[in-house]
Amino acid sequence: MLIDSHCHLHDKQFFDLSKTDEVLAHMRENGVDKCIVIGTDPLDSEAACDFANHHAEAWWTFGYHPNDYDGDKAKLAADLERAKKVLDDKRLVAIGEIGLDYHFDGYNKDFQRHLLENMLQIAQDRQLPVSFHIRDAFEDFWPIYHNFHIPTSVLHSFSDSKKNMKQGLEEGFYFGVNGLATFADIAHPPLERIVFETDAPFLTPKPFRGIMNKPGYIRNIAEWAADYYQQNFEVVAKITTENAEKIFKI
Ligand SMILES: [Zn+2]
């Protein structure tokens, strides 16, 4: 059994929600029994909540992507106040994706920091793990992270330096490994600290590059990992699935 620990299947910008049953059937046919749909802002997170409450294979997260926040503090406070009612939902398994992203021009460090601190406070108060999106920003991330006490969490789509991977391992993080590993030249964490994710619709793994990603393709990421780590497929599936089940309590 495999798990997709990070996808955006609920997002109607990308997926035709009238075809969800087909996507989930394809997922199960490929041995992927569970998925976590990831919120990227308060409204999108409510859609993720709704999705998870209509599909037995799905759980959801409450998130706010660093690039999606415009710096309006009053609106953020109101959004987070309103979110309190969905945060009690029994299928909520994590906060995320949240983090810092300095990759593209136009980002605002103060806005991102303010948002991240607000979201980490929720994770700490509710003792929820986090799916972190950190891009070109680990130097700023570590000190903010150290101000909070949150359960064992995941660095989603990790593609940073070996130095930051080493620190992430020392800090107890797990690493979200996705299609990037199958086609990009990036550092690979030890198998014991991996959870699989598609980040669908993005980052489609080999051999399906060029078409839209979906959770069934976790199988291809697992096949890549079996080859890379020189383990049999069942061992890779067992380790990564148990990791995700333990972190997200699913
Ligand atoms: Zn994502």
- Report pLDDT digits (tens) over 158-189: 999 999 999 999 999 999 999 999 999 999 99
Where do the H-state alpha helices sit in 18-61?
Answer: 20-29, 42-52
- Tell me how far the alpha carbon of residue 87 lies from the centroid of ligand 1, in angstroms: 19
Category of 136 on φ-ψ map: left (φ > 0), alpha (ψ -120 to 50) or beta? left
What are 111-133's pLDDT values in tens digits? 999 999 999 999 999 999 999 99
Instruction: Give the per-residue pLDDT at 170.
Output: 98
CB atoms within 10 A of CB 174: 25
CA angle (69 as vertex; 8, 157 as ends), nearest 5: 40
Q: How far apart are CA 28 and CA 33, in angstroms?
A: 5
Cα(132) to ligand 1 centroid in Å equals 9
How much is the mean pLDDT over the chain? 97
Contact at 8 Å (CB) between 10 and 203? no
Going from the Cα of 201 to the center of ligand 1, the distance in angstroms, rounded, reads: 9
* Dist. CA 200 → ligand 1 center (Å): 7
Confidence of residue 58 (pLDDT cuts 50, 70, 90): very high
- Measured CA to CA, the distance from residue 71 to residue 155 in angstroms comes to 24
Q: How far is the CA of 97 from the centre of ligand 1 (A)?
A: 7
CB within 5 A of ion ligand 1: which residues? 199
Distance (Å) from CA 7 to ligand 1 centroid? 6
pLDDT in tens, 191-237: 999 999 999 999 999 999 999 999 999 999 999 999 999 999 999 99
Per-residue pLDDT tens for 74-93? Answer: 999 999 999 999 999 999 99
pTM of the model: 0.97
Structural domains of the chain, with CATH? 2-248 (3.20.20.140)
The predicted pLDDT at position 10 comes to: 98
